[in-house]
Amino acid sequence: MGVICNGITHHSPGLIPYCATFFVFTDCMRAAIRMSALSQAGVIYVMTHNSIGSRENGPTHQPIEHLASFRAMPNVFMLLPANGNETAGAYKVAILNRNTPSIIALSQQELPQLPRTSIKGVEKGGYIISDNSSGNNLDIVLIGTGSELEIAVKAANELRKGRKAVRVVSLISWELFDNQSNAYKESVLPSSASARLSIEAGSTFGWEKIVGLKGKAMGIDWFGASAPTSRLYKEFGLTPEVVVAAAKEFC
């Protein structure tokens, strides 16, 4: 399927092909995706069931290390939208970039349209969802991706009840964020804010680049399990309550 999409892109540049399957099955089409990147074929890969949220499908169908592996691949946009707004933004990025393939990893579970998520924000790769601080005087920055952005928002709301200054950042694409100016990146993740906590239902490999030496990455560094989504997230410690407890270690 991936090879066919590459062929369509190179044979008929006026067509924009996409192919879709479970995110975990990118293992079966990794060579085709790599050739898309290598040959600058702007194929759109729409990958569903992007985390342990794939429920009773079990660990064979739950991608853990895949986000990290594609973030390491040159000339690929790895996009992890949190809801419909960000999915629309991800498609816009994918369609406009004809020399770079895009992987849009979507969740299985239903997700809310969080306030201040936007198409425009996706184009920057990372942007601020909410912030109750004054003059970047932050107690902590919570960084969420995909379905875990909702967890970051709920945790922030709870922390603010204790008068904590919390910023929530949606980091949908590391590659797009890296392409922004230093001034923009500093405006989203100020160097003065060393207390950073990332939440992502995947491998924590590479997150030290974002959270720094003093921050903490919350994720899954082992295979998933077969159970309802709510139980899986609880068992693996990816809930607002656990995030709040981890945040309180910083502030």
pLDDT digits (tens, 9 = 90+) for 227-248: 999 999 999 999 999 999 999 9
CA atoms within 13 A on the CB side of 147: 22
Same fold yes or no, 2-105 and 119-247: yes
Q: Which two tokens stand for residue 212?
A: 């720094």
Per domain, the residue ranges of the chain are: 2-105, 119-247
Distance, in Å, from the CA atom of 81 to the CA atom of 105, rounded to the nearest integer, reads 7
Structure tokens at 195: 């207390």
Sign of the CA dihedral running 115, 121, 127, 133: negative
Q: How many CB atoms are closer than 10 A to CB 204?
A: 16
Q: What is the pLDDT of residue 123?
A: 97
| Residue 156, SS3 per DSSP | helix
Between the alpha carbon of residue 79 and those of residues 4, 86, 148, 170, 251, the distances in Å are: 22, 9, 14, 11, 31
In this prediction, residue 251 carries a pLDDT of 83
Q: pLDDT per residue over 112-149, tens digit each?
A: 999 999 999 999 999 999 999 988 899 999 999 999 99
According to CATH, the topology of domain 2-105 is: Rossmann fold (3.40.50)
119-247 is classed CATH 3.40.50.920:
yes
Q: Residues with Cβ < 8 Å from 23, sequence gap 6 or more?
A: 47, 48, 49, 50, 63, 66, 105
- Output the pTM of the full model: 0.95
Q: Tell me: the pLDDT tens digits for 3-57?
A: 999 999 999 988 999 999 999 999 999 999 999 999 999 999 999 999 998 778 8
